[in-house]
Amino acid sequence: MNNKRDIKEAGKMRGRVILAAALCLTFVAAIVLPAEAQWIEDGTIVAAYDGYQGEQHMVPDGNGGAFLAWTDDRPGPADAVFAQRFDAYGNALWAAGGVPVTMTISYNQQHTNIVPVGDGGAIVVYAHEYSAGNYNIRAQRLDAEGNMLWTVIGISIVAAVGDQTYPVAVPDDEGGAVIAWRDDRMGNRDVYAQRVDSSGVVQWTANGVAICGAAEDQFNVVIVSDGNHGGIISWTDFRAVVNSDIYAQRVRYDGVTMWTPDGVPVCTGSGHQNTPQIITDDSGGAIVTWNDYRAVTHTDIYAQRIDAGGWMLWAMGGVAVCVEASDQGSPQLVPDGSGGAVIAWHDFRAVMFAHWNIYAQRLDLNGAAQWTSGGVVICDALGDQEYPAMAPSTDGGAIIAWEDDRYGNYDVYAQKVDGSGNLLWETYGIPVSDVSDMQVNVRLVEDEEGGAIFSWMDNRPIEYNWDLYALRMDSEGYWGYPSAYITSVEDVPYDEGLQVTVTWDAARIDDYPYAAVTEYDVYRSILSYPDYTWTLLGTVEAFQLASYSYTDVTTADSNLVDPNYHHYRIVARSSAPAVFWTSPPDSGYSVDNVNPPPPVSSWVDQNYPNPFNPTTTIQFGIRVAGRVTLRIYDAGGRLVAELINEHRVADRYEEVWDGRDRRGNPVASGVYFYSLTTVEFEETKKMLLLR
């Protein structure tokens, strides 16, 4: 199997808008709408500097993009925390390479977490080394432009004695965050939490509320929102001394712990239970999964659901997600949208081949397995597939990514599984990035269109120099945004108004080897963002062309009072009705032009519409009077029709070809060429007739 896709230039997003000063006086200005798309095959650079950029945390930005925060040692000599926001099209919305979250970097800043706050900004939480080897927790809020909103050194979440490390956080849905962390102020490792509001003011007891202060150590802290401005927190707990267990606690919006002091036991079975992961059950409770050693000889995967009152809803000790022979580990989970969960893990059951594979299982809201017993194989390619990461899908399934060394170095691969356990992408997954050297520590978030945005650590091209990259994969497994991109919405010159030509670059997957697009639908909205109301205008058949166009009759021309903008978007459709790719919108308007000036140079425009059936218009200008010919040729160079062969004065013209030859017979569908020749100018362009 070829592990590299054909490399093609990423799609471009450009736009031009025609502006009118008055009905009889016209000028044109170019405005880029929006910025050029930045997703690049095998990964767009997030941060690539000498040293180390890694340990990234990523969350959705609520608008199809993503926030990232990471540890970065570029300033030296200490580690710092940087952040970046990407939109859905791969444009970095903040400073290139990310923005620092503090201006003070005298000691290390690590263990980063980031949460969206609903206004295009985010809160970044991190462990701050306040003296050599001692950490506490600080936070910074960034606005939609990446500017610091709190003090330049961040605000203190906790500054108790000892170490406070590994913070985790969730939005409080009021512009602030609920934060939990590991805390050894009492000698052993405990769990504490704090809430900070949108202004950077802590809301609970100074230095945090004790979530669990039981004997021995508590660590591996995870958190999910309780849906009411508080959080549900779970952790690995060694209070039993001989083995570790899983506990959980709910902390209310006001800092009051709601369940049994020091937490309720999620699982206290024999052997070790550790490394919990947690998600919401969409009913005010949570679902927790973990590594479980009760089988003694190997590790299994178990899960439990907890309601808002702290009661266990599934079997005592949890339900078995996978108890196959040999080890299963590193479970991750996402909500299935119906009160259950999709759980993925790496699995060593193929012991005869001595490598790890990726499996997954779906549990319903009652904890019943919905897929094959023991899980569905997500990838069992050669080599190791390890450390899955997940994002929810819209159909009860998930997108799952992992580290994959099938070719010797670790790469990032992914697979999409639907709610019934069917694999939707290529067998063994698709490469998100499989360039030379290593790609590891993959993270991903949903993009609101059935795809996901991925990030990973990458040591290309210098070993031991880790950088960060990111890439979007759409719902069909194509990288980036393979949609068409509108390149212009322009007035049809000197047509007495009411017409614009919409031109777009073809979708990247229009051409071979994909040939995935069958047609383009052209939509128009008179209303602007955010009140777009789209109306289908027409359809243009796809024919592996580089670009296409469509001429629309507008509802009104521009004038001094109202430019009468019309907004357009192009939907590239496949043979499957539910599979399509939508362009970003662009806009323009028509102009009622009167008494145009003579051309300053000769020219010929691209015909419109193109492709066409049955007629198309060719516009051209002549600077010097003389004989002019406009001829149509077929793909073999044979003359098909002669539209002009006569003397013309300097002026602007347009001619219509009706798709007939010199004898008046309709010609067949196919590629044709039109050639304009004057006394000083000659140019040939291609057009496509589709009957």
Q: Which amino acid is at 342?
A: V
Lowest mean pLDDT among 137-141, 201-205, 460-464, 548-552: 460-464
Over residues 159-194, the pLDDT tens digits come to 999 999 999 999 999 999 999 999 999 999 999 999
Q: 547: part of which helix (H) or strand (E)? A: strand 547-553
pLDDT of residue 633: 96
pLDDT of residue 356: 96
Q: Is the pTM of this model over 0.75?
A: yes
> Can you tell me which residue has the tokens 């031109």?
503
Hey, is 352 helix, strand or coil?
A: helix
> Can you tell me which residue has the tokens 């430019």?
563
- Cβ proximity of 289 and 341 under 8 Å: yes
Over residues 93-105, the pLDDT tens digits come to 999 999 999 987 7
Mean pLDDT of 297-306: 98
For residue 347, what are the contacts with CB-CB under 8 A and spacing of at least 6? 322, 324, 326, 327, 328, 356, 357, 358, 359, 375
Name the burial class of residue 171, with classes exposed (0-12), middle (13-18) and buried (19+) by CB atoms within 10 angstroms of its CB.
buried
Please state, in angstroms and rounded to a whole number, the distance separating the CA atoms of residues 525 and 531: 9
- Sheet containing 603-604: which strands, arranged edge to edge? 603-604, 616-622, 651-657
The answer to whether residue 27 scores a pLDDT higher than 70 is no
- Cβ proximity of 688 and 612 under 8 Å: yes
Q: Which of 168, 22, 4, 16 is nearest to 497 (CA)?
A: 22
Mean pLDDT of 11-39: 33
Please state, in angstroms and rounded to a whole number, the distance separating the CA atoms of residues 524 and 233: 48
The answer to whether residue 637 scores a pLDDT higher than 80 is yes
Max intra-chain CA distance, the chain: 101
The residue ranges of every structural domain in the chain are: 603-689
**CATH architecture for the domain at 603-689:** Sandwich (2.60)
pLDDT of residue 29: 24
Over residues 506-520, the pLDDT tens digits come to 999 999 888 999 999
Going by pLDDT thresholds of 50, 70 and 90, the confidence category of residue 672 is very high
Both tokens assigned to 535: 């109306």
> Can you tell me which residue has the tokens 């993959």?
442
- Cβ proximity of 319 and 304 under 8 Å: yes
Question: pLDDT over 70 for what percent of the chain?
Answer: 91
As a dihedral over the C-alpha atoms of residue 130, residue 131, residue 132, residue 134, rounded to 10 degrees, the angle is -60
Residues facing residue 607 across a β-bridge: none
Please state, in angstroms and rounded to a whole number, the distance separating the CA atoms of residues 85 and 83: 7
Going by pLDDT thresholds of 50, 70 and 90, the confidence category of residue 324 is very high
Name the burial class of residue 351, with classes exposed (0-12), middle (13-18) and buried (19+) by CB atoms within 10 angstroms of its CB.
exposed
Q: What are phi and psi of 685, to 5 degrees?
A: -130, 160
Q: Which of 323, 305, 322 is nearest to 314 (CA)?
A: 305
